[in-house]
Structure 1
Amino acid sequence: MNTQFVNLTISAPVSGQRQALATIDDPVFAGGMMGAGFAITPVSGQVYAPVTGKVTMVAGTRHAVGIQTPDGFEILVHLGIDTVELQGQPFQVQVATGDQVQAGQPLATMDLKAITAAKKAATVITVITNSVARHAQLFLTEKRTLEAQAPVAVCCGRLNTAPPAADHAPADLAAPIIAAIGGAANVRGVIHCMTRLRFYLKDAQQAQTATIQALPGVINVVQAGGQYQVVVGQIVDSVYDAVIDQLGSQYARAPQAVRAQTWWARLRNAASAMIAVMTAAMMPVIGILAGSGILKGILAALTGFDVLSVHSGTYLLLNAIADATFYFLPVILGVTAAKKLGSNPIVLAIVGAILIYPQLVSAAGRSATAYVTFLGIPTHLVSYTSSVFPIIVAAWLGVYVERALKRVIPLYLRSVFVPICEALILSLIIIVGLGPLITMLSQALASWILAVYNFSPALSGFLIGGFYQVMVIFGLHWGLIPIVINDLATNGHSYINAILSITMVAQGGAVLAVALKTRHQRLRELSWAAALSAFCGITEPALYGVNLKYKRVFVVASIASALGGLLTGVLRVDNYAMSGALIGFPAFITPGVGLGPNFIGYLISHYGTLLLATGFVYWFGFSDRLVDEPVPNRQPLKA
């Protein structure tokens, strides 16, 4: 037998106070049933990979991640105690099953406030689940107050592993468990985590614990937190599916957990989860979006000063390079959002491509063809180029649609019919359902905003300035664009576009404040690029890369934007071209007048908004405490 030993260094997945497993309030982990390990009470919500390896499992409720190292150690990172009951709401996982991760790479985020509000412990548990098979010993550092990514333990184990445990048929294990807990009549609901079936029983005294513990494949039985927990290890997914098949889908719930949260808490958590998914899906393309935004701004300036003609080949090619990322954004987000939410990335990319299919985009742009019928259903076609929200909704729905299709389509037909049926269903839901709904809402909002502007430009500026970027997030801003275009085409100017320009400056000023204040190098670099892009009229990198991620930054920026819009309305600043922000200043030069009162109003309103947004966020909206990563050891920036 090969008795060679190998060492594995394990880093702290979070910053916080280390504690022994035996001291935590979870009998399965505390009793060492899942293997040797340690726990950390976190002080920040960013979770990092403790080792280098392959992601072997991500919990459906996003509260746990499994990683296998090249040497075969199996590491489980478990976020919180009994947090499976929260149905994934406080968690966002940044990796997917099959991904290769490096030690110290961002793994997930936890909403510590939401976990605490749900009266759960946020303790992060790290265990080596095959430590017994590897005859492994864990040697912890003496340091108890830890920074994330710092070495916390060394695991020493044999290279050879014990023979794999015999497989147990899930259906054969499910039936005796159900019988021993008192049958379906004694069950109120059942959920599962990474290792345990968690039954909510009407009468736990009816359960025959000794009988269940003796079943082959059952590791142990634990009663805690109002649950009857049957520990079965890594086969829990299959056993759970078999239990639900026998009990019925109506038992797949956690009645106590549902009642524990108010409707407001569920709504708030759902909104936070949606924003987190949107920002996470956007992060892989933030850099190129920022660069493309800067290039679009440069092109706008060159054409504004007649240095470059919009009809030239140079402009045509450069504009294609600058605009392609935005045009095909639904396709890109289809892939990234699907990976975050667990749906099929290829199918979602196809759905994104359907949404921006040239003939549909062309038809949506013409009033004569924008209103069509599909199987007799009146449908208003919408241009989804550069959109974010619809494809995120599709990625979320894709998980449930695919699951439903697999229930009704035979296994031998799934590879062909599941993808195309899923793409068909999701596309129709967006185009026939969500698109017209967004159109109605955006048109209603546009009409209301126009009426408010006719009543009071100052009030209209305040409201548009404060809420326009929120409208952008949900795609409701499209109702204002036709009004701006119509104003420019018929009147040669647009007061509303001047207010929209203010919102871009405010978001840019907010992310500029982050760039000036943060001591985190990666965030600073991203913020500088996002600020330049926003000043060029492209706010997506600022919105999704920084401001929405740190929600207080977005709120404070919106307040500054509302005040800037109010100032724009009071000064009656006008806009003379489909351009804006700081790079679009030529659009505020009054034709035939030059640098007159309107341009002065532009300077006052826009640079005033820049100062407000930057100052507000710098002093009230952002601090490095909001950043869930340890501050590097460097000298602070000079004032």
Structure 2
Amino acid sequence: MKQVQLLTPVAGRLIPLSAIQDPVFSQGMMGQGFGIEPSVGKIVAPVSGEVTMVADTLHAIGFKADNGLEVLVHLGIDTVEMGNQPPFKIQIKTGDHVEAGDPIGTMDIQAVAAAGKRTTVIIAVTNSADMVEKLDAHEGEIKAGVVGAVVDLKKEVMPASTAKPAKKSGNKYDDLAVEILENVGGAGNVKSVIHCITRVRFYLKDEQQANDDVIRNLQGVIDVAKAGGQYQVVIGPAVNDVYDAIINQLGPGFGDDEASTAAMEKEANRAAWKKMTPWQKVKHSFSSLIGVITGAMIPVIGLLAASGILKGVLALLTTFNVVSDKAPTYIIINAMGDSVFYFLPIFVGFTAAKKLGSDPVIMGIVGGVLTYPSIIALATGGKVTSHLLGMAINANFFGLPVHMASYTYSIFPMIAGAWLASKLEPWLKRVIPVVLRMIFVPLIEVVLISGVIILFIGPIITAFSGALAAGIMGIYKLSPAISGLIIGGFYQVLVIFGLHWAIIPIVVNDITTTGHSYINAIISATMVAQGGAVLAIALKTKVASVKELAWPATISAFCGVTEPAMYGINLKYGRAFVTASIGGAVGGFLTGLLNVNMWGFAGSIIGVTSFINPKGVDFSLFGFLIASVATIIVSFTLTYLFGFADADVKNVKVAPAKKHLGEQAA
């Protein structure tokens, strides 16, 4: 291999070598490398290899990496002068062997700063002249144990990545992880990995190294997709187990750490942006927006769906007078179902901050400010004094008239706030001394971000969100049936390209703004259609491997997750996706024609309670049942008759034979 990685030994802000306030290091006299202005004192090994030196004063540690690099970690500048009372605790000694990411000691950064010394931690490859062609460091905020720099070597060396070597264990998820990593180009081709509800999403250095056909034909893999700069391996319900196994194989620095991933890629994105054409910039910006929405919404989607189901059950109980809406039982269950919606700004602030690289806890606190009871009371009970740009002026701030909006159930203000924090936070950490950061960075961020959202961003976005919901409803009312036909027929096409993540926040906004969503009712029909099609295949096929995958995919689709059905069966065998889409168009048409409304987020068959009006059962529930039955009949019948035959299985391209999970070598 000719490219290896250096992990970051401490958390903080990574800076180029030239910015280090020491001419010996900044001029490269000790070799190529980078510096880190530390925010936390925990130290980890930057490479796997042997410890060749630990200074008597503990301020410097040398390593001989397994890949041949000789790496020096220098803790602070001029800290050798603190020899009588060294602010370091080092738990390794010369001759020890360490793995990249292993804890090796601590550094008291407050003590270093109090002694008037710079706390900068420096990493230098001391044999750069012999080994290093180029070293690219990822500037910005980072955490300890993540990839801090990629090193291009002058000559090939035996693979000895900072990632752990792949090992088969007999555990089916571990073995699948090994197979996937081998066929995405090895651990050395992986920059980072995240996952969603059904997919393991790789950021690869070179997608051309991945063997798509082999991966999609591994037992346990449904399909492969590429979108938004991600190499996506569709797994299905077992995605968490497979993801954990992959991270276990890769080791520290590769996992679902959106903050570090965002920081690592900022410099590369800036360089790539300069080379893009205007159209490429538009596509890149849209892809980035989808990526932010995906990262912010994925962790809460399941919670929204579960809460919607629970609220529907509660509506059913009150409709049939099983529980009174004044009873403590109602209050307790309602809190269980409503809390994720009520405190949505806190959750979205946290997840959006992780995606954008700002502090998740600080953004969670900002979300708490927006959902604070007295703020909500001010928004809902404040006296309207005037109107400005269609917004009611119901409060003032130091005499400045403002529109105080209600931010419970809101999404977009927090995403905008997290983006603003991602720009503000690095600047604050540059200008505020290390010893004061713990107090003043969160203080200033909470005050500024909360203030900007409440006074400026929030009212604008709230007005826009209301207009968006009204606009969607206006288009729908022009012809509910035609809207349903079009959306029902094509929505799952958006899922293929991951573009449905641009629609999901609009649906959530629709529900949180109006309390219901006609559009989500149509989307639900498309999930039922995919389930009906794959059910037909499950019953028709005589191929054991297809039947084995089709039954779980049917259940998954009827539970609102369509990827296993689409990627595992319907798309793979071509015509079935078309017949399923026709079923979705019919279901969407009937849903619109019957004016079916939806009060929850969970769709498909499992989301039946989402179609119960909290004020009492109305025709939406019966319309949902009628549309769902018709959707299943159409998609099932068309797929059974025209969409699939066992002969189709033979026509699917199969990768070269490999051992399946759990099989042993002969």
TM-score if structure 1 supplies the norm length?
A: 0.48
